[in-house]
């Protein structure tokens, strides 16, 4: 058998998964990641904890699978995107905690960029809107606020990277500083038309070019791991992609018009647009899809900042449940949300609203409201936010001469929740399709690594490996679904006034 090892470094945990050649899971190892909240709106991770726990899961999963490092054909890496690490090239130590993608501290700098008239330039070059979500302003904050960082950067002593770059640096003992196009495209510094760091944007943000990693296609030979990490075996790293582009690849969405939604800490809906850079008129982003060669490939994307994280809030904040798995049974104990609407804008609202000042709200409370109604409203909020994204995406597709999205492929932790998936199909009015393997983020990284190292011949071979586990068909009338979406939009307007 041929085995591929996927390192899946996410927002809430570090995981490693071994897949066989057919894309089936052999074993999984996972360790939770400490969330650091220095003040409201700030979110950090310890980069050294990310590295040590990721390495620990890689070793653990080999033991679980009863495999030796020599049994692994290649490694693929997928990662939480936009999260920003700045480290010393000589010591390999970070100069500060990683600033997580959810973090909003750089919003004042974003406001200045908007005031300076940079909005159109950044959108045209990068496909992104100006927002603290992306890496560039996080990096600028580190340079401006960490004592000595600016001077060290000017001397060429520091390296910047998203989490993939940080892991590869550690896996190679500091020998390789590299990223892929999909991660680079989330920095707000990368020109997605020519796949190069943009000198004008770097200058506008006062970021030294010496900080930046080399950029490669997502399926390529990135490096070999240090042999001492895996019992004397140097393993090739053959695939790298940001988590959402990796999931799009793992869902076999290789053609324009195919879409997937990942239900993780946030929700991320991507539609492949092929070689066409197709700007959105509805608040969505254009991003680089995972690429197997030098030819640019694009996807339209909408991001929900708080998806499955709302279930964590029910558990850790409200203490309404003891474990995340209990939310479906609690929500199913009532026939509906009883008129309750939750907008979980804990860190503002992402696409298609892009309102950094919105705050979480719960509306429609009565004396008859129970925790079960709130739990159901929390689950439904994930579907409402995703439906708003897909509706905006379909409008863009039609405006560009295409067709609305015909089906939605789903994955991620919350995709196993049948109640949520059925409600999603009802709101959208199209089939919601769950594959046999919902770990498609890790699977995409494994596939990318397998392609570059000869395990697979082409994307067509991968398409044949994609298998359906369940298809959720809409049962709600379109009139009722439209009414529900209108109530959601009303709740969003109230959240933006909070």
pLDDT in tens, 237-260: 999 999 999 999 999 999 888 899
The per-residue pLDDT for 498 is 55
The per-residue pLDDT for 193 is 94
Q: Which of the two residues, 100 and 306, has the higher pLDDT score?
A: 100
Q: What is the pLDDT of residues 115-144, one digit of tens each?
A: 999 999 999 999 998 989 899 999 999 999
Task: State the average pLDDT over residues 219-232.
Answer: 95
Pick from 2-6, 40-44, 274-278, 333-337 the range whose average pLDDT is largest: 2-6
Which two tokens mark 396?
């863009």
The per-residue pLDDT for 353 is 83
Contacts for 204 with CB less than 8 Å, ≥ 6 apart: 113, 116, 118
Measured from the Cβ of residue 468, the count of other Cβ atoms closer than 10 Å reads: 11
Quick one: what percent of the chain has pLDDT higher than 70?
100
- Which domains, from first to last, does the chain contain? 3-244 (3.30.420.40)
Burial class from Cβ neighbours inside 10 Å (0-12, 13-18, 19+) for residue 152 reads: middle
- The region of weakest confidence among 51-60, 85-94, 447-456, 487-496 is 487-496
Burial class from Cβ neighbours inside 10 Å (0-12, 13-18, 19+) for residue 286 reads: buried
Burial class from Cβ neighbours inside 10 Å (0-12, 13-18, 19+) for residue 255 reads: exposed
- Computed from CA positions of residues 84, 86, 89, 95, in that sequence, does the dihedral angle turn out positive or negative? negative
DSSP strand pairing (361-363 vs 341-343): antiparallel
pLDDT at 48 over 80: yes
Residue with tokens 């992402």: 350
The per-residue pLDDT for 399 is 84
Distance separating alpha carbons of residues 451 and 8, to the nearest angstrom: 18
Q: What is the pLDDT of residues 432-454, one digit of tens each?
A: 999 998 889 999 999 999 999 99
User: What region, left, alpha or beta, does residue 18 occupy, with left being phi > 0 and alpha being psi -120 to 50 degrees?
Assistant: beta
The per-residue pLDDT for 79 is 96
Q: What is the pLDDT of residues 386-432, one digit of tens each?
A: 999 998 888 888 887 777 888 999 998 888 889 999 999 999 999 99
Supply angle C-alpha 199, 203, 205, rounded to 5.
Answer: 120
Mean pLDDT estimate for the chain: 93
Q: What is the pLDDT of residues 160-211, one digit of tens each?
A: 999 999 999 999 999 999 999 999 999 999 999 999 999 999 999 999 999 9
């Amino acid at each position: 058998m041929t085995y591929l090892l996927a390192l899946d470094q996410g927002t809430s945990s570090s995981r490693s998964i071994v897949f066989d050649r057919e894309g089936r899971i052999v074993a999984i190892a996972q360790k939770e990641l400490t969330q650091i909240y220095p003040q409201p709106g700030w979110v950090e991770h310890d980069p050294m904890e990310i590295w040590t726990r990721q390495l620990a899961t890689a070793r653990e999963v080999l033991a679980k699978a009863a495999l030796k490092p020599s049994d692994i054909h290649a490694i693929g890496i997928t990662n939480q995107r936009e999260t920003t690490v700045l480290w010393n090239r000589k010591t390999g130590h970070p100069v500060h905690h990683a600033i997580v993608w959810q973090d909003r501290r750089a919003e004042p700098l974003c406001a200045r960029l908007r005031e300076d008239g940079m909005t159109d330039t950044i959108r045209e070059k990068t496909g992104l809107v100006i927002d603290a979500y992306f890496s560039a302003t996080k990096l600028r904050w580190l340079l401006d606020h960490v004592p000595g960082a600016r001077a060290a950067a000017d001397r060429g002593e520091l390296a910047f990277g998203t989490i993939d770059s940080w892991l590869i640096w550690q896996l190679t003992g500091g020998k390789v500083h590299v990223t892929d196009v999909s991660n680079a495209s989330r920095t707000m510094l990368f020109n997605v038309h020519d796949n190069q760091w943009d000198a004008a944007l770097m200058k506008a943000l006062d970021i030294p070019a010496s900080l930046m990693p080399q950029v490669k296609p997502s399926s390529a030979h990135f490096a070999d791991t240090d042999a001492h990490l895996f019992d004397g075996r140097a393993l090739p790293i053959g695939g790298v992609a940001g988590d959402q582009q990796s999931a799009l690849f793992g869902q076999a969405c290789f053609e324009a018009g195919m879409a997937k939604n990942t239900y993780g800490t946030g929700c991320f809906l991507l539609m492949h647009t092929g070689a066409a850079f197709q700007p959105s008129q509805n608040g969505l982003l254009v991003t680089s899809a995972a690429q197997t060669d030098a030819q640019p490939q694009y996807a339209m994307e909408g991001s929900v900042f708080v998806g499955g994280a709302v279930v964590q809030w029910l558990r850790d904040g409200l203490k309404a449940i003891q474990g995340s798995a209990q939310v479906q049974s609690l929500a199913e104990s009532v026939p509906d949300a009883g008129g309750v609407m939750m907008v979980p804008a804990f860190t503002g609202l992402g696409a298609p609203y892009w309102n950094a000042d919105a705050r979480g709200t719960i509306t429609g409370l009565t004396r008859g409201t129970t925790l079960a109604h709130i739990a159901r409203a929390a689950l439904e909020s994930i579907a409402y936010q995703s439906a708003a994204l897909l509706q905006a995406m379909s409008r863009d597709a039609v405006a560009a001469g295409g067709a609305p999205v015909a089906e939605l492929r789903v994955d991620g932790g919350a995709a196993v929740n049948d109640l949520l998936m059925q409600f999603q199909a009802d709101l959208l009015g199209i089939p919601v399709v769950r594959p046999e393997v919902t770990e498609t983020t890790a699977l995409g990284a494994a596939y990318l690594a397998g392609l570059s190292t000869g395990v697979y011949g082409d994307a067509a071979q991968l398409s044949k490996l994609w298998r359906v586990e369940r298809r959720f068909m809409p049962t709600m009338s379109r009139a009722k679904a439209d009414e529900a979406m209108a109530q959601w939009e009303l709740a969003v307007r109230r959240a933006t006034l909070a």
